[in-house]
Chain A
Amino acid sequence: MKEVFIGAANIITSLGFTTAENMERMKAGETGIRHWNDKSLSPVPFWASRIDDSLLQKIFSIYADPRDFTRFEQMVICSVMGALKNSSVPSGDKRTLFILSTTKGNIDLLKNDMVRPGEGNRIYLWKSAEALQNFFSFINRPLIISNACISGLMAIIAGSRYIRTGAFDHVIVTGADIVSEFVLSGFNSFLSLCDGPCRPFDKNRQGLSLGEGAGTIILSSSKPGKEESRQIRAGFGFTSNDANHISGPSRTGEGLYRAIRKTLEHNPVQVDYISAHGTATPYNDEMESIALTRAGLQSIPVNSFKGYWGHTLGAAGVIESIAGVYSLQENILFNTLGCNDPGTENPISVIGNTHKAEVKSCLKIASGFGGCNAALILHK
């Protein structure tokens, strides 16, 4: 079995258009979650993390005509280009696969399509992926993973398996989702949006903040040429279903615990740091604390990135994994922004300030609607 080396990456969020920019602003304790009054997205004001539209258009215009691609696709293209810029991976090679992770893709087209059918056929994710394939001249048809909020992490796990088994030499994994009226209204009906920036693992957490983003991470079977000290590998990862409820997290953290257990069994490393899902809803964060405690990881430093970027759905697993890779490379642990007073019934070791720490491995976990859960080890 081959090793899976992590190469170039890119993050596009409200906090910047490169990984470096995002990391610098996070080190400075900035949040991208703002208050919005935008009737095109919601009849009532809301908090969310949104990408600067004019900046996106400006950057995208370097690559193609913005009229030919939707906002979601522009984000994906900018992110992939951002990663490829720092990579020698042959994107147009038959030994390279592109995996796209998204929950709702071009869902903002649905409104118009229902009035003028056929106008929004890029609502079909495979059609959108086709447009992306043509743009990049990928030889292989993109693999599209749409598995709720674990999509991004699942995409990295799937990509790693393809590399390990020798099916492909390189896998470009991109996760992306936009902030849309469709999703905002849905989470509103669940009463699960926070009236302010979200507070992961906080005693008084009240709900999540939505965010939009695109993240790209390139996996390879050969070392991308980095110095060994900065070379991070993707280990084994697993998914598991709670088999309990389609939206409510399992009270025993069943699926997440099983995914973590399988991950720990297969990766012969000690976990130095955990990047949790931490959406800041009362139930999710509690469920994660239960699963981590059952797995014996309650004393391992853990954080959530949702306070910086909001919940970026299909992008979350990718951009948060990139942040995990950065943490390992720089030996830094990020503060759980938004958490002032950790309070889950099962106490876990929430990271309360950004500081240097020697970390050799990171356990990344995620959970989503449909009872799905995923876990993966990233390590030096």
Chain B
Amino acid sequence: MRKEEYIISDFCIIRNNRAIVNGELIFSAPRHNTAAFLTALYRHLDVGYAKFFKMDSLCKLGFLASELILRKHDPILPDQADDTGLILANAASSIDSDRNHQRSIADHDAYFPSPSVFVYTLANIVAGEISIRHKLHGENAFFIDRQFDPVRMHAYATQLFDEDIIKRCLMGWVELDGDRYEAVLYFIQKSAGHKDGIAIFEPGKLNDIYLQGSDLWNN
């Protein structure tokens, strides 16, 4: 029924202090805490983007995942900015920054809410940071869900593809809650005229990739 076929052309997984792109381990730093790991990954990638240090951990995580995947993939060109979608989801929203903000207002006698913390108390800011970095003007969406749901994400993106609202899409799961974090991002595009992708864009394959990363962690 669908006119076009879509493929998962690239994917990136950041979990357990390991960064993997298309199945290849790019970087690992097993003994760091989360904050130190994210900084170490940033330096390893030699990104050169000073704004990184202003971001909260959730945004750093999403930013790095998008950086990794878009380095593997061809860069998004200016005439692609309007029809590149960015669809993200997580379970904990921006809880890490929420807690930081709450701490700053806990004591009415030392009441100093910080604008640079408050601005990150919205999960969709991750999408904002990625959009700024890669100049993406297309459809943005941020969903909250108990866990990554490849069926729902696939359906939502497919709707946008079918209505010709987007021609390619960066989508996935960017989650950070205390010590637990994981980012799994996919690049989806039309199969016609492109190199072979990792897999056909369908929920089963999205799920395989999502779980594939976690198998590695059991070693």
A associates with B: yes
Interface on A for B, CB 8 Å cutoff? Answer: 39, 43, 103-104, 107, 110-111, 114, 123-127, 129-130, 141, 143-148, 154, 158, 161-162, 164-165, 167, 181-182, 185-190, 238-247, 254-255, 258, 262, 368-372
- Would you list the 7 A-B pairs with minimal beta carbon distance, nearest first? A370-B128, A186-B118, A241-B131, A144-B144, A189-B113, A185-B113, A126-B146
B199 CB–A CB distance under 8 Å: no
**Interface segment, one of B20-28, B135-143, B187-195, B207-215:** B135-143
B123 CB–A CB distance under 8 Å: yes
Question: How many residue pairs, one in A and one in B, have C-beta atoms under 8 Å apart?
Answer: 154
8 Å CB contact of B91 from A124, A141, A165, A187:
A124
A351 to chain B, nearest CB (A): 30
User: In the docked arrangement, what's the CA distance between A331 and B159, Å?
Assistant: 34
User: In the docked arrangement, what's the CA distance between A282 and B187, Å?
Assistant: 38
Contacts of B95 in A (CB 8 A): 123-124
B64 CB–A CB distance under 8 Å: no
B15 CB–A CB distance under 8 Å: no
**B99 to A370, Cβ gap below 8 A?**
no
The 8 A CB mask of B107-141 against A (1 = contact, 0 = none) is 01001011100110111110111011011111111
A241 to chain B, nearest CB (A): 4
Closest residue on chain B to residue A99 by CB atoms:
B143
* Total B residues in contact with A, Cβ cutoff 8 Å: 53
Contacts of B115 in A (CB 8 A): 186, 189-190, 247
**B113 to A372, Cβ gap below 8 A?**
no
Contacts of A125 in B (CB 8 A): 93, 144
Contacts of B4 in A (CB 8 A): none
B200 CB–A CB distance under 8 Å: no
The 8 A CB mask of B67-107 against A (1 = contact, 0 = none) is 00000000000000110001000011101001101111110
Contacts of B132 in A (CB 8 A): 243-246, 371
User: In the docked arrangement, what's the CA distance between A161 and B213, Å?
Assistant: 33
**A241 to B128, Cβ gap below 8 A?**
yes
**A145 to B142, Cβ gap below 8 A?**
yes
Closest residue on chain A to residue B121 by CB atoms:
A186
B6 to chain A, nearest CB (A): 16
User: In the docked arrangement, what's the CA distance between A39 and B155, Å?
Assistant: 46
The 8 A CB mask of B142-156 against A (1 = contact, 0 = none) is 111110000010011
B interface, over-half SS: mixed
User: In the docked arrangement, what's the CA distance between A258 and B138, Å?
Assistant: 9
**B139 to A370, Cβ gap below 8 A?**
no
User: In the docked arrangement, what's the CA distance between A238 and B119, Å?
Assistant: 24
B5 CB–A CB distance under 8 Å: no
**B128 to A258, Cβ gap below 8 A?**
no
Contacts of A123 in B (CB 8 A): 95, 98
User: In the docked arrangement, what's the CA distance between A148 and B129, Å?
Assistant: 14
Taking A239-B141, A241-B140 as given, write out 11 further A-B residue pairs in contact, using a Cβ cutoff of 8 Å, ordered by the A residue number: A114-B106, A125-B144, A141-B146, A143-B143, A146-B143, A148-B122, A148-B125, A186-B121, A189-B118, A244-B132, A245-B132
Interface on B for A, CB 8 Å cutoff? Answer: 81-82, 86, 91-93, 95, 98-99, 101-106, 108, 111, 113-115, 118-119, 121-125, 127-129, 131-132, 134-146, 152, 155-156, 159-160, 162-163, 165
A376 to chain B, nearest CB (A): 13
8 Å CB contact of A240 from B93, B104, B137, B159:
B137
**A145 to B141, Cβ gap below 8 A?**
yes
Contacts of B98 in A (CB 8 A): 107, 110, 123, 182
**B159 to A369, Cβ gap below 8 A?**
no
**A181 to B118, Cβ gap below 8 A?**
no
Could you list 20 examples of A-B contacts with CB < 8 Å?
A: A111-B102, A123-B95, A124-B95, A126-B91, A145-B143, A146-B93, A146-B122, A146-B123, A165-B163, A167-B159, A190-B118, A239-B140, A240-B140, A241-B127, A241-B137, A243-B134, A368-B124, A369-B122, A370-B140, A372-B124
User: In the docked arrangement, what's the CA distance between A272 and B58, Å?
Assistant: 42
Closest residue on chain B to residue A371 by CB atoms:
B128
Please judge, given known A-B contacts A243-B135, A243-B136, whether A186 and B101 are in contact too, CB under 8 Å.
yes
Please judge, given known A-B contacts A125-B93, A186-B113, A189-B114, whether A372 and B128 are in contact too, CB under 8 Å.
yes
8 Å CB contact of A238 from B113, B127, B139:
B139
Please judge, given known A-B contacts A165-B162, A189-B113, A240-B82, whether A126 and B99 are in contact too, CB under 8 Å.
no
Closest residue on chain A to residue B105 by CB atoms:
A185
User: In the docked arrangement, what's the CA distance between A189 and B132, Å?
Assistant: 24
Contacts of B142 in A (CB 8 A): 145-147
User: In the docked arrangement, what's the CA distance between A60 and B7, Å?
Assistant: 48
Contacts of A254 in B (CB 8 A): 137
A188 to chain B, nearest CB (A): 6
8 Å CB contact of B105 from A162, A182, A245, A255:
A182
8 Å CB contact of B165 from A114, A238, A247:
A238
